[in-house]
Structure 1
Amino acid sequence: MSDLDLFPGFSARDIELAPDISIHALVGGKGPPLLLLHGHPQTHAIWHRVAPALCERFTVVACDLRGYGDSSKPAGDDGHAAYSKRTMAGDMLAAMRALGFASFRVLAHDRGARVAHRLAADHPQAVERMVLLDIAPTVAMYAQTTEQFARAYWHWFFLIQPAPLPERLIEADPAAYIRDVMGRRSAGLAPFDPRALAEYTRCLALPGAAHGLCEDYRASGGIDLEHDREDIAAGRRLAMPVLVLWGEQGVVHRCFEPLREWRQVADRVEGETLPCGHYIPEEAPEQLLARALPFLAEGRA
């Protein structure tokens, strides 16, 4: 199966950013640019149910983060800077510029939303407004970790263990990892198109994918916290409009107060729960579009 089977009318691009780094993206639609960023353990395929409606209003660019999907999976380093959200955000900025977009809007889920947060913090001139799905800021989630959160988000603490332990266990059965991580959420595996599940499994089985996934989390437990704390200490805040949406059946809703936490770091925040669990674009696509489309389109002809 090609990833294009889930995205009729899109074209695939492999955007070369450096000799050893390329970002895989699907591009479709017309209008102002909209960058879509996925989460763990997924790929751009998470957007397949909302992409047709988004394409009616925007030129949609659905990227695979480095370490995920068909994007490059460079080796990590001792400080995990190669997978810091600063580095991953830089990838997305460079990819959008390569496509001719100096500024754009962002719709991002989970890990992609953490990349979007850093992209907006480091390059505020590039991000016009953004929608963040089912996260609170990384620094707040680590600082407020409880037993309930640790039990539910066990993978946060498993994936940051030193290499190669978590990589070896994931590589032993990537399909089982996908089923167990995604299937143990509130809705089980029922919301997912079998073609999307097959794509997630294919991509996690690629060489280097388990390492890239772990390095993403190792960075968030280390260097990303340093960057976030530097912003807080310096009083740097996000100025662009931010919409935060989270699932009322999810862990973020049970363990945190997303609006309060985002208002600690951003000036213009609105948001609410949606009637679903963690995987909002696949569990509640119509509700997501009803809330996010007007926000993303605001200020555009």
Structure 2
Amino acid sequence: MIPGFTDHQTGALAYSIGGEGPPLLLLHGFPQTRAMWAQIAPVLAQTHTVICPDLPGYGASAKPQDLAAYSFRAMAREICALMDRLGHAAFDLVGHDRGARVAHRLTLDAPDRVTTLTLMDIIPTHTLLSDLRWQVAKSYYHWFFLAQPEPFPDTMIAAAPDRYFQSCLLGWGGAQLSDLDADQLAHYRTAWRDPDTIRGMCNDYRATLALDMADDAADATALIPCPVLVLFGASGAMAEHYDVPATWAPKCRHMQAQAIPGGHFFPDTNPTATCAALQPFLNVRAR
């Protein structure tokens, strides 16, 4: 995969690109970077042109000051601008965690851009927040901790970023550090030790409560027109508390779903099974 940068309204967007064939965009989640696709992207690049950006506020991408730049809608616009720069009017779209929420918003706002959509281990934002269960709040407390006004969570996390963010990686499904690729983990650590990245990731969650919830409430009954693949960790927090496919079925015209062995971070801990689930869906659509 070849690294690159594009300059946008809110600053540089870092990405990696490789392969040949139909364009395929992969969006990472929290607290990761585009390095999460290091073992998956080369496999998918056998049949697709694969583009993996760092979301705004994450990794090597710019960390805007304006909170509005971190809404799912604003990040989706930045991602579309990247694909415009690369010459791709339409593309397959895969997102995990926060990247899946950006992908959902992008598909609603620009349905003509997305050929297929794959959502990894999330339920709809509006569903989660409008009917929040205490069991879910206990597992996903970070949504509300990170959303507190600056600099409260930022300062606390900066005191021990590895300890905090690794607690996130090891939660939501019971992974061990040894389950994660050492090089990918090193990339994550380098990113989250940067105070600007900590602020950017907190702003991602601040924007959800301040901006995204209203956007999603307005589109609560909107249907995703393209084919959708919902993947979820079989032993993750979402599968424990929800029937994940059932939360998406009313929002999709065409949907299929599959559980992947592992917790929330199954793309990191089980890239082989992740690729095995993605390839038939993507390759059928590519023919």
Match of 1:290 among 268, 272, 276: 276
Match of 2:183 among 173, 195, 198: 195
In the other structure, the counterpart of 2:4 is 13
Question: Identity over the aligned pairs, expressed in percent?
Answer: 38
Deviation track 1:17-70 (CA, whole Å, cap 9, x = no partner) reads 13x411100001111100000000000011111122101010000110000000
CA RMSD of aligned residues (A): 1.3
Deviation track 1:151-192 (CA, whole Å, cap 9, x = no partner) reads 111211111111110111112222222222212341121211
Equivalences for residues 9-48 of structure 1 within 5 A:
10-18=1-9, 20-48=10-38
**2: CA distance, partners of 1:97 / 1:143:** 34
**2: CA distance, partners of 1:94 / 1:297:** 25
Specify which structure has the higher proportion of helix: 2
* Conserved? CA contact 1:132–1:243, under 8 Å: yes
* Conserved? CA contact 2:100–2:122, under 8 Å: yes
The alignment of Structure 1 onto Structure 2 pairs a total of residues equal to 286
Match of 1:162 among 149, 163, 166: 149
Amino acid at match of 2:6: I
**2: CA distance, partners of 1:242 / 1:13:** 29
**2: CA distance, partners of 1:133 / 1:190:** 22
User: How far 1:207 moved relative to its partner?
Assistant: 4.1
Equivalences for residues 44-63 of structure 1 within 5 A:
44-63=34-53
**1: CA distance, partners of 2:73 / 2:171:** 30
Match of 2:264 among 262, 265, 278: 278
**2: CA distance, partners of 1:110 / 1:184:** 14
Where does the alignment leave 5 or more consecutive residues of structure 1 unmatched? Answer: 1-9
**1: CA distance, partners of 2:25 / 2:286:** 16
**2: CA distance, partners of 1:184 / 1:117:** 24
> Which deviates further from its counterpart, 144-153 or 176-185?
176-185
**2: CA distance, partners of 1:47 / 1:268:** 26
* Conserved? CA contact 1:32–1:104, under 8 Å: yes
* Conserved? CA contact 1:128–1:241, under 8 Å: yes
Secondary structure of the equivalent of 2:256? strand
> Which deviates further from its counterpart, 284-293 or 117-126?
284-293
**2: CA distance, partners of 1:179 / 1:283:** 14
Equivalences for residues 32-111 of structure 1 within 5 A:
32-76=22-66, 80-111=67-98
Where does the alignment leave 5 or more consecutive residues of structure 2 unmatched? Answer: none
Amino acid at match of 1:47: W
User: How far 1:221 moved relative to its partner?
Assistant: 1.9
Match of 1:141 among 128, 138, 147: 128
In the other structure, the counterpart of 2:163 is 176
User: How far 1:289 moved relative to its partner?
Assistant: 1.2
> Which deviates further from its counterpart, 63-72 or 47-56?
47-56
TM-score by length of 1: 0.92
Secondary structure of the equivalent of 1:118? helix
